[in-house]
Amino acid sequence: MSRVDDAALRIAIVAPAWYPLPPRGYGGTELVVHLLHTELRRLGHDVTVFGAEGSAEGVTMLADAAWSHDLGGQAEAARQATYLARVYAAMSGQRFDVIHDHTGFEGLLLALQSKLAPIVVHTIHGELTESMRTFYKEVADHARLCAISLSQAASAPDIKLAGIVHNAVELPAAPPSVTHARYIIEVARIIPDKGQHLAIQVAQRSGRKLILAGKVERSEEGMRYFEEQVEPYLSPTVEYYPNVAGAQKARLISRAAAGIFPLQWAEPFGLAMVECMVAGTPVLALRTGSTPELIEEGVTGFLAEDADDLVEGANRLDQIDRVRCGTVARERFSPRHMAERYVAVYRRGSVEVEVFPSRDGPEAAALSSRRAVPTP
């Protein structure tokens, strides 16, 4: 790199095209990108960030707000291509130390081909399918690839990574509260993968009210799941809030006895789980995907093998020190911590994997084998 290690870096960040920075509701990746570019600026770096219309001051807005309705539809690919064409036209003639792409395959390839920066970093935000693993293997020698969890990295052991950098969440201004209501809450899209039907069962069996907060997935599967597995059970003890955000979301989370996440798939990273924990609200979750590395057993929540274990956890919530839960989570998932780890990737080409006391079993074994490999 042309700059010394303690000098400010000139960084271009390419956010997804779909939601503003920060998002007003759904948009987990956009939230992470917003926190990252804001914190990098606080650290003294010169950051240019591209995103969607409606973003906060300091973002170059090159994707139309209406395009969010095309996500998942026939027009998605064309909207994505149009956005990226605008981004690289805007960057033409400039030079950066780093381009950090968060968009996907096309964005990564354009960043590499543009030659506008000697270093290209790409964060893999979703599930790694077989076809995606094949793609990333082809480009891993030319870009610094970052996973967002050990679980995600372990699903592709043959891909060379610059590191594993956990996502951050916005930290509440208020300290964790020791007072709370008796309800439990699941903040997630309404879709079978998120397991709302199990959350309903656990709430009923543990004698607790349940709040389901999140939009119904706009697919045939999502609509059918809501109509058959969720809607018939809505009542004064099972309440549904569509796509909550902002102060309402923060209030619902902070007052809950626990967040519940009976995931039915190996989710690479659960932002909503972390949002609960930093508020001091412990989490009940099935042991799958990233949950063993995000939750510290008995400190920030309880891991479970099945619904029976979730019920048991719901009956043990008074064992959790909510102040300690919030303090531990805020140390691990702060925007500053995430930004500093990405700066290590920018400067050194790698960042060491973090080890936490809650990791055990196969996750720990996989962790020891995924030490960062320096990349170009």
365: Cβ–Cβ under 8 A, 6 or more apart, which residues? none
Q: CA torsion 187→188→192→195, rounded to 10°?
A: -30
Q: Is residue 286 within 8 Å of residue 262, measured between CB atoms?
A: yes
How many of the other CB atoms lie within 10 Å of CB of 216? Answer: 18
pLDDT at residue 243, rounded to an integer: 77
pLDDT at residue 119, rounded to an integer: 98
Q: Is residue 150 within 8 Å of residue 356, measured between CB atoms?
A: no
Q: How far is CA 75 from CA 66, 70, 82, 125, in A?
A: 12, 6, 11, 21
pLDDT at residue 361, rounded to an integer: 47
Helices (H), 23-93: 28-42, 76-91
Coil, helix or strand for 248? Answer: helix
Domain(s) labelled CATH 3.40.50.2000 in the chain stretch across: 10-168+334-368, 184-331
Q: Is residue 227 within 8 Å of residue 241, measured between CB atoms?
A: no
Q: Is residue 243 within 8 Å of residue 26, measured between CB atoms?
A: yes
Beta-bridge partner residues of 98: 11, 119
DSSP, res 339 = H
Which residue matches tokens 């879709």? Answer: 191
Pick from 280, 315, 311, 285: nearest CA to 297: 285
Q: CA torsion 198→202→204→205, rounded to 10°?
A: 130
Q: Is residue 163 within 8 Å of residue 352, measured between CB atoms?
A: yes
Q: How far is CA 169 from CA 126, 332, 354, in A?
A: 17, 10, 18
Which residue matches tokens 């018939």? Answer: 232
Residue 65 CA to chain centroid, in angstroms? 22
Class of domain 10-168+334-368: alpha beta
pLDDT at residue 92, rounded to an integer: 95
Kindly write down the DSSP assignment for every residue of 139-206, as one continuous string. Answer: HTTTSEEEESSHHHHHT-TTS--SEE-----PPPSSPPPS---S-EEEES-BSGGG-HHHHHHHHHHH
Superfamily for 184-331?
Glycogen Phosphorylase B; (3.40.50.2000)
Burial 134-144 (b: 16+ CB within 10 A, else e): ebbeebbeebb
**Cis omega before residue 22 (within 30°)?**
yes
Tell me how far apart the alpha carbons of residues 54 and 12 are, in angstroms, rounded to a whole number: 19
Residues of the chain with pLDDT under 50: 1-4, 359-375
pLDDT at residue 367, rounded to an integer: 47
Q: Is residue 219 within 8 Å of residue 209, measured between CB atoms?
A: no
